[in-house]
Amino acid sequence: MADDKSKRDARDRNRISGEEDYEVAYFARKFQLTMPEVRDLIAKHGNDRETLEREAKALGNR
């Protein structure tokens, strides 16, 4: 799914596109993960930002 930058509404902010390197890189830096770890989280839990943030925090606490 390509990220259409002309459509800027709240729905896009609730998702993280695993195909967009800049989104994956930002999320990885934010939670001190690697890009492959973030892509694994997206594959396992979907691209909902709230869910991914919860899982990333749990991953960091291990």
Q: Chain centroid to CA 59: how far?
A: 14
Q: What is the pLDDT of residue 9?
A: 61
Domain count, the chain: 1
Q: How confident is the model at residue 12 (pLDDT cuts 50, 70, 90)?
A: confident
* Position 32 in a domain: yes
Does residue 61 carry a pLDDT above 90?
A: no
46 lies in which domain range? 16-60
* Position 46 in a domain: yes
* Position 11 in a domain: no
Chain position carrying tokens 């799914």:
1
pTM over 0.85: no
**Per-residue pLDDT reduced to its tens digit, 14-58:** 899 888 999 999 999 999 999 999 999 999 999 999 999 999 999
* Position 49 in a domain: yes
* Position 39 in a domain: yes
* Position 5 in a domain: no
